[in-house]
Structure 1
Amino acid sequence: MPTFVIFDLEFTTWPGAMEQDWSAPGQLREIVQIGAVRVDEGYSVVEEYETLVRPVVNPRLSPFFTTLTGIDQRSVDRDGLAPARAVTDFLAFCRGGSVLSYGNDMLVLGENIGWARARGEEIKHSAFTPGFLNIRPWLNAVAPATTATNSGRLWQALSLPRPAPGHEHSALFDCHSIAAALRHLAGTGVTLPAGLLQISGVRGTS
């Protein structure tokens, strides 16, 4: 069955960091959580991926981040993977197909890959093999009600049922919210442009 991936990241942040584009000294966008869903051509979820990641430069999460995401220090210390391991596992989940995000999460992923490699850590899959695509400009254009909405609130902007347990700023929930928006739009006849997706088959688990 042909499929593609929708992913979302939660990464270290502090009050005002987004407005300042993480330009303050020491404020890096280190990944703390990766969420992804594999969806079929009808945008139904057929597989999930989720992991916590231990940041290296700023291993202590800011209270602002924890309040925003609900991710606490104990959970990251206990369950978080090393960045290189987490990114390797995620890229394996992508299986060389198209990978969609609502925003430029692929840039943050690239930053984290660069930092890991600079530390001498091995990333076993190439981030350039899958076709990463930011669908936010397209989605906002075809559904103007979503223009000022983050990924975790897309379902609300489109007056849809809650797509999954959880809350916004949880990476996996945000993926379900994106998938629900795409599924809804497809039901109204609005689908991603033909040829945009590099579809992969569901065989093996890499």
Structure 2
Amino acid sequence: MCKVPQPFDAFLVLDVEATCVEGADFQWPNEIIEWPVCLLKWVDKDRSGMAGTLQIVDEFRSFVKPTWRPTLSPFCTKLTGITQAQVDDAPFFPEVMSRFSAFLAKNGLIHPATGERLVRFSWCSDGPFDIRDFVVKQCFISQTAMPHWLQGDVMDVRKVVSAWSDSKQNLSGKKPHFPRRMTPNITAQLGILGLPPFEGRQHSGIDDTRNITRIVIELARRGVSLRPNTHIHLGRRWAWMGKSGQILEEYCLTPYS
């Protein structure tokens, strides 16, 4: 374990699952159907900000009921393992955000009344997609403002692992694990760091989140300074976005619609 300066006090690891249909890509109006988060805090951070050991202090998980297309496709259920009954019984996205806000307040991250951040915390995800794409889409569909505590930059864990791997390979004179145009998925990141294989079911939001959490903990142990490295564009729009949360169906056609 190597202690280095760590500017953030806590980390929220998130890997959402969303509605999908076979043949669609990230341009489709996906709706979030699972919101799982692992909360990490330092065990050994001193007054100078030096730290090296993170631990999970709490978890949050909720399924989310979609509104635009409430019936899951067979492809989506097979991919995520999420059933129709689970989303039918789940709260809508604004209610999940309200419950999650209470979770953050309970853990001392935000003020319970104002939502103001009380400590420096960073979101972490596997790639930039979860908050940059899925949350922005969902806030539009649900006609709700993105909560203040969700706004800000995000640590793309893939980028951190790739940079760490490249630095080690450069020192040894070996070729990088992946071409620069490619980034390693969760399974590959675990292998790069020498961690045991993926635990659980891939594309289960909570299992993906827990495995990303293992990666973040290991990066901290190896002396990587954990900082945001990608941006959220709150005003990002897609062709299917109409007015006031309206989805323009003509932009949502796929070979399997």
> TM-score scaled by structure 2?
0.61
| CA radius of gyration, larger in | 2
How far 1:162 sits from its partner (Å)?
5.2
Could you tell me how far apart the structure 2 residues matched to 1:139 and 1:154 are? Answer: 7
Structure 2 SS opposite 1:172: helix
Structure 1 SS opposite 2:195: coil
How far 1:49 sits from its partner (Å)?
0.6
How far 1:72 sits from its partner (Å)?
1.0
Residue 91 and residue 169 in structure 1: after superposition, are their counterparts in 2 closer, same or farther (change >3 A)? Answer: farther
Is 1:68 the counterpart of 2:79? The answer is yes
**Contact preservation (8 Å) 2:36, 2:61:** yes
Please report the RMSD computed on the Cα atoms of aligned residues, expressed in angstroms: 2.9
Structure 2 SS opposite 1:143: helix
How far 1:92 sits from its partner (Å)?
4.6
> TM-score scaled by structure 1?
0.74
Corresponding residue for residue 101 of structure 1: 125
Structure 2 SS opposite 1:44: strand
Match of 1:141 among 159, 163, 187: 163
Could you tell me how far apart the structure 2 residues matched to 1:49 and 1:152 are? Answer: 23
Q: 1:20-39 alignment to 2 at 5 Å?
A: 21-22=26-27, 27-39=28-40
Deviations 1:68-122 (A, max 9, x none): 11111112112x11111113333454533321112221121122112212xxxx5
Could you tell me how far apart the structure 2 residues matched to 1:130 and 1:136 are? Answer: 18
Deviations 1:142-176 (A, max 9, x none): 13558543336643453423575x31211121121
How far 1:51 sits from its partner (Å)?
0.6
Unmatched tracts of structure 2, length 5 or more: 1-8, 43-52, 105-109, 111-116, 167-176, 230-257
Aligned length: 183
Corresponding residue for residue 151 of structure 1: 186
Residue 177 and residue 99 in structure 1: after superposition, are their counterparts in 2 closer, same or farther (change >3 A)? Answer: same
Could you tell me how far apart the structure 1 residues matched to 2:80 and 2:146 are? Answer: 29
Could you tell me how far apart the structure 2 residues matched to 1:60 and 1:106 are? Answer: 23
Corresponding residue for residue 87 of structure 1: 97
Residue 163 and residue 180 in structure 1: after superposition, are their counterparts in 2 closer, same or farther (change >3 A)? Answer: farther
How far 1:59 sits from its partner (Å)?
0.7
Match of 2:207 among 150, 156, 173: 173
Unmatched tracts of structure 1, length 5 or more: 198-206
Corresponding residue for residue 225 of structure 2: 191
Match of 2:24 among 3, 17, 20: 17
How far 1:189 sits from its partner (Å)?
2.7
Match of 2:139 among 101, 110, 113: 113
Corresponding residue for residue 148 of structure 2: 126
Could you tell me how far apart the structure 1 residues matched to 2:157 and 2:205 are? Answer: 16
Could you tell me how far apart the structure 2 residues matched to 1:123 and 1:162 are? Answer: 38
Corresponding residue for residue 201 of structure 1: none
Q: Percent identity?
A: 26
Residue 127 and residue 3 in structure 1: after superposition, are their counterparts in 2 closer, same or farther (change >3 A)? Answer: closer
**Contact preservation (8 Å) 2:187, 2:197:** no
In terms of mean alpha carbon deviation, does 92-101 or 42-51 score higher? 92-101
